[in-house]
Structure 1
Amino acid sequence: MNRIWVLPALLVVTGVAAALGLSAIDRAAGYDLVPVSVVGTASTAQQVLSLLAQAVLNLATVVLSLTLVAVQLAMGQFSPRIVRALQADRRNQAAIGVFLGTFAYAMLAMREVDDQSNQVPGLTVLVAYVLGLACLVGLLVYIHQVSQSLRVGGIIDLVGDETRAQLERRFPPDDEAVPSADGAAGVHTIDARDSGAVVLIERDALVEAAREADARVEVVPMMGDFVPKGAPLARVEGGAVPPDVVRRHVRLASERTHEHDPAYGIRKLVDIAERASADPFDDPTTTVQAIDRLHDCLRLRRRLPSGSYADAAGVPRLLVRELQWPGYVRLSFDEVRLVAAENPQTARRLRAALLDLLDVAPQDRRPPLERQLKLLEAAVARNFDDDADVDAASTADAQGLGSGPDLVTLPLDGARRAGSAARR
């Protein structure tokens, strides 16, 4: 039943059977089941059925063509071995089947419309109208389904869920291999019911739940971590916090989002910067634009959470692992630095960002930035053989190539300041 044509073929047969059956019912009732005021005159009904048949046939053709193109693109980008998983998706097959079944239904329904005697099979035509609306809904569902299933996360979930289901079906559980979930005395571990990435930790709600139970909750994964099914989600010390309450306030999803996870937004910018500078794209200007936004995000002076949350009385109730300033700096620049050092434009822009961040950073936040600047200088020196190229790539420039002190004329005081900054 994994062949793409089986379910659509069944729906086509269903459409043919429905058209023949409803036409027989209309004939037996003398074509009086549904008044003409509802379905229209014979000429109107015939025209609508003709347009419906033509439209859904064209729609089915376009959908099948787009499906083949999308599958080919997915094969080239991800893996040629995912074709069967995409073709086996029942929702895609059902959408195609609805279109083709409606076409078969409309073609057979037109035979019963007699324009000369104004004979209109009301029930048959009414169902055709309903099928036309169903095709519109099916088109929207199909577009949503294809757009979701062809995301990298959707494809990974599709293959991963199928593989996990096969493992559960083929092999019995090995309870002896599962270690004890509880750790120290008085500590209870709450496991995840389903797998997924942590997309939301409702800290205030967890603090309140822990206060009511006179307990302390430690969330094991941090924001963005992937949690396998059955893995520890939280540890509760002291009172008993209901597991469902913890699971409800530590929300998992199929993939990360940056709605409540700013580190994931930075991760996306880093991915863009890396991909733009890698072969075969070689687009350093896009990398510069990504560095612009990374620079903008890190320049915000914000107090980062410690990870310990207390109730109104000051009693610690919740422990959460939080990304700190060195982590944000390394997340933003470790990978970008390696690709930026290979191109003068991106190296200059990254140096300008680091120098500016050093100018505004408090003393305790300077060491991670100084480390990045030192590593950038060493990487630039390794990537360019000529001293002139090294000097040019080591000059700070907010545009990459366009506003550095070696490219523009400045008033004397400004030139001195810019030259001093470039030599740092």
Structure 2
Amino acid sequence: MPLTRFVHAVRSSLWLVPLLCVLAGVLVVLCTLWLDRRSGYTLVPLSVTGTPSDAQTTLSVFATAMASLTSLVLTVTLVVVQLAMGQFSPRIVGALLSDRFSQLAIGLFGATFVVAVLTLREIRGSDTGTVPGVSMLLSHLLMAASLVTLVLFVHHSGQTMRASGLIDLVGDRTRDLITSSSSASPGPATGPDADGNVVPAREPGNIVRVDRAGLVAAARRADCVLELVPVVGDFVPGGAPLFRVHPGPGQAQDVAGPVSLLRAEDIARLVLVGPERVHAEDPSYGLRKLVDIAERSIAQPFDDPTTTLQSLHRLHDLLRQLAVRPLPPGEHRDPDGVVRLVERTLSWEGYVRLAFDEIRLAGTTSPQVTRRLCAALHDLKGVAPPDRQAPLDRQLRLLTAAVHRAYDDEEDVTAALTPDAEGIGSGADVTTAVRLGTSAGVRLGARVPG
């Protein structure tokens, strides 16, 4: 039991590992100082360490820098803890405080400070005198390691402060606990995926990149068709189906043939899995981020519809680019024209719903949001081909119904459904009409019915 308590203290306390690192630094520098005294301070010449005055200046800078870096690391750690408590959960604090990399960084900076101070005390003289050369080299080595660790720590802290970083921190530790608590290997798959024609995911994570050319080549060699089960960007649990293998034209009667010619590890390796979604091959993730910003901006306590409008500007622009372009195909063929890889891709209706559904539901009571949505939808209807009009009509219909439910006064309803590229600022009902050629009676800027 005492050993168990000690192990628990090591894993859960922030101070123990740094303290052990500092003590290790003290022991190491005492050994190097003893070695320097034993050799008469001649193991390392002054041409390498510099004069005693130079060495004193260098070590003073090292000690000051390490004190500042240690304070910085402790401050960043506390900031991460506060952000995690306020935005996510106070129960995640224990995982953050027991983060091993942060503990080692604090310990390394503390050990470097102690080594620099103890070495500084051993220097004698100014221009001529004695310099503990081995201890000086140790100080330089620890300082270089501290600089590298500082850069890695900043990167590590930035990753940890992300929502996905905190979720992965807890998820990975719990997964390791589940794995280590059971000595038995997982049982065989059951159900429809147990037929042997499934390639499982090797590790959990989001689909970041797919080597489609490599998959097509592998499927051609095995004369089969690979079906990518998740959509690019989806999260895949470890061991979940990643691919389904279907017989190719030459193996229509041989169900087991495709699998026998494929190695699951080689196929799974052609799909890059990461801790979170990225923009590499997932344009819908960009829309997802903009929608999150827009929806969060109009939620309490922020109540910032202007930021929502800025997100809608970019969503409008992105959908305008997609409206006139063919979407990526879901079938990939080999040089002979045979389909070897199939995958699900987001349709035009999917992009429209991703961009507007949540904002429409959350921003119905904000006239700025509804007017900007109307402006975007009317503009998109002007450029989208006929087969892409239905999703836009659906959004307009649902937006109109939601505004009628939100407002009792018909004038408010009419104002909320007036297209306005600036929310309230450039609509036909709030700007002056521009007249061109009074004799011809041409007038621009007049309000358009409906």
Please give the TM-score of this superposition, normalised by the length of structure 2.
0.89
Select between 333-342 and 241-250 the one with higher mean Cα deviation. 241-250
Residues in 1 aligned to 2:84 and 2:377: alpha-carbon distance in whole angstroms: 38
- Measured in 2, the distance between the counterparts of 1:377 and 1:257 equals 35
Q: Distance in 1 between matches of 2:157 and 2:90?
A: 17
The alpha-carbon deviation at position 173 of structure 1 amounts to 4.4
Q: How big is the alpha-carbon RMSD for the aligned residues of Structure 1 and Structure 2?
A: 1.8
Matched with 1:120 is: 131
Aligned pair partner of 1:17 in 12, 16, 27: 27
- Are residue 150 (structure 1) and residue 157 (structure 2) matched? no
Matched, 1:8 2:18: yes
Deviation at 1:181?
6.8
| Pairing partner for 2:420 from 389, 397, 401 | 397
Q: 5 Å matches for 1:12-411? A: 12-115=22-125, 118-171=129-182, 173=184, 175=186, 178-179=189-190, 182=193, 188-238=197-247, 239=258, 240-300=261-321, 301-411=324-434
Distance apart, 1:30 and its partner CA: 1.0
AA matched with 1:394: L
Contact 2:371–2:417 under 8 Å retained in 1: yes
* Deviates further, 129-138 or 37-46: 129-138
More displaced stretch, 232-241 vs 388-397: 232-241
Question: Could you say if the C-alpha distance between residues 111 and 416 of structure 1 is closer, same or farther in structure 2, counting changes exceeding 3 Å?
Answer: closer
Asked if 2 retains the 8 angstrom alpha-carbon contact of 1:341 and 1:383, the reply is yes
Distance change in 2, residues 1:244/1:174 (3 Å): closer
Contact 1:340 1:350 in 2 (8 A): no
Q: Which residue of 1 aligns with 2:447?
A: 419
Letter in 1 for 2:31: G
Decide which moves more: 324-333 or 113-122: 113-122
Per-residue CA deviation, residues 103-140 of structure 1 (Å, 9 max, x unaligned), is: 11111111210025511111111211121122111111
CA distance in 2, matches of 1:172, 1:129: 46
- Within 2, Cα distance between the matches of 1:173 and 1:330? 45
Separation (CA, whole Å) in 2 of partners of 1:333 and 1:392:
20
Cα shift at 1:174: 7.5
Q: Distance in 1 between matches of 2:360 and 2:378?
A: 14
**Cα deviation code 1:3-54 (max 9, x no counterpart):** 1111101110111111111011011111111111111100111121122112
- Which consecutive unaligned segments of at least 5 residues does structure 1 have? none
CA shift, 1:314, in A, is 1.6
- The residue type equivalent to 2:357 in the other structure is D
For the 8 Å contact 1:216–1:237, the answer to whether it is kept is yes
SS in 2 for 1:419: coil
For residues 180 and 351 of structure 1, what CA distance do their matches in structure 2 show? Answer: 48
Conservation of the 8 A alpha-carbon contact between 2:36 and 2:134: yes
Distance in 2 between residues matched to 1:152 and 1:415, nearest whole Å:
53
Task: Tell me, yes or no, if the aligned pair for 2:432 and 2:445 is still in contact at 8 Å.
Answer: no
Ranges in structure 2 where 5+ consecutive residues have no aligned partner:
1-9, 248-257, 437-441
Q: Distance in 1 between matches of 2:186 and 2:124?
A: 70
SS in 2 for 1:356: helix
* CA deviation map 1:304-344 (0-9, x unaligned): 13412222222111110111111111111110111222111
CA drift of 1:403 comes to 0.8
The 3-state SS of whatever aligns with 1:278 is: coil
Cα drift, residue 212 of structure 1: 1.9
Q: Closer, same or farther in 2 for the Cα pair 1:183/1:171, shift >3 Å?
A: closer
CA distance in 2, matches of 1:308, 1:319: 5
Contact 2:331 2:343 (8 Å CA) reproduced? yes
Q: For residues 418 and 255 of structure 1, do their structure 2 counterparts lie closer, same or farther at Cα, with a shift above 3 Å needed?
A: farther
Please tell me the residue identity of whatever aligns with 1:153: S
Compare 106-115 and 302-311 and name the one that shifted more.
Answer: 302-311
Contact 1:189 1:234 in 2 (8 A): yes
Q: CA deviation at 1:287?
A: 0.3
Alignment identity in percent? Answer: 49
Equivalent pairs counted in the alignment come to: 420
Using the alignment, how far apart are the partners of 2:103 and 2:192 within structure 1?
A: 43
- Mapped to 2, the partners of 1:115 and 1:138 lie a distance apart of 33
Kindly indicate whether the alpha-carbon contact (under 8 Å) linking 1:405 and 1:415 is maintained by their aligned counterparts in 2: no
How many Å apart are 1:348 and its aligned residue? 0.5
Matches of 2:303 and 2:31, distance apart in 1: 62
Identify the residue that residue 3 of structure 2 maps to in structure 1. Answer: none
TM-score by length of 1: 0.95
Aligned in 2, Cα 1:7/1:415: closer, same or farther, shift over 3 Å?
farther
Counterpart Cα distance in 1 of 2:20 and 2:275: 32
